[in-house]
Amino acid sequence: MPRTSLRLLKTWTELRAWRAAQNSARPVHLVPTMGALHEGHLSLFRHARSDQGIAIASLFVNPLQFERKEDLANYPRTVEEDCAQMEAAGVEAVYMPDLADMYGADGCQILLDAGPGGEHFEGAARPGHFGGMLTVVHKLFQRVQPQRAFFGAKDAQQLFLVQRMAHDLDFPVEVVGCPIVREDDGLALSSRNVHLSSSGRVHALGLSKSLVTVANSFDKGSRDIEHLNQQLNTSMEQSGVRVAYANIIDEATFLPLDEATAKPGQRWRAVVAGRVEDVHLLDNRYLGTA
């Protein structure tokens, strides 16, 4: 892995100067993160370095997207290790502002509204989460002015909404979705996995297993939404996951499907979330064209 020297940009002023100095022959590729990096993030950095990309990461734990104070306080923070991993992965710069640099001394009063695609699932489980997430991504797009931005399919609804925001609000940014990175046993990597005990980790496998179960049913020809939803729920409950939601969605809208709205030709994805040991975990899997 080629090493670069990672530039630490702590303020918007430093970021602006760095951005202006970049060679316009190479595209700037942004990877937004909240730190506590793992292989999932590192895969995004690899994608960002493709096509001669100048990879810049952001590292900012965004209070606007946490609805529970204790989740924000407990969010793992490993800044030094994160910077070392970024440097080893060939990231050229990291924008790591503090709260005042990001939102100003008097905070942020204007928030984006995620619209219908943000009403369900994480949007319902975590009120305010997507408005806060979109607001900070909007600011990062404005400040970094990337040609492309890379997001993980692990947070499928987030990816959908950022793509929708770039489209609806005229950002000249290509928002690229990257595959979910999993442990060998199927558990999707997440910064929150460090909070699981070894037995909690076994329960957490219920999410990815439920997705494999419905993918098998789909592959065998089942298009019965109620049955597929039921399979997701049962499989997770049996593994000891406190289910927050488990649904088949239409990828074009990120709305839950039912017997009335399911149509041939739609691209179906299964999305699941639940709590294990009070840790909120999510996962999803593309099923195919109905």
Active-site annotation, residues:
41
Q: Report the DSSP beta bridge partners of residue 175.
A: 149
Residue number, 103 or 151, with CB nearest to ligand AMP:
151
201-260 positions binding ligand AMP, by CB under 6 A: none
CA distance 245 to 121: 6
Sole binder of ligand AMP in the list 151, 160, 171, 245 (CB under 6 A): 151
The yes or no reply on residue 33 touching ligand AMP (CB under 6 A) is: yes
CA distance 188 to 154: 7
Nearest 5°: phi and psi at 268? -100, 140
Segment contacting ligand AMP by CB under 6 A, of 104-112, 117-125, 152-160, 204-212: 152-160
Segment contacting ligand AMP by CB under 6 A, of 72-80, 113-121, 188-196, 254-262: 188-196
Sole binder of ligand AMP in the list 129, 154, 203, 269 (CB under 6 A): 154
Residue number, 16 or 77, with CB nearest to ligand AMP:
77
Sole binder of ligand AMP in the list 97, 146, 152, 274 (CB under 6 A): 152
CA distance 8 to 54: 15
The yes or no reply on residue 129 touching ligand AMP (CB under 6 A) is: no
The CB density around residue 34, as the number of other CB atoms within 10 Å, is: 19
Tokens found for residue 242: 């406190």
Tokens found for residue 240: 């000891």
Which of 178, 180, 176, 190 minimizes the C-alpha distance to 211?
180
Q: What residues line the site for ligand AMP (CB under 6 A)?
A: 33-34, 40-41, 43-44, 151-152, 154-155, 178, 180-181, 188-191
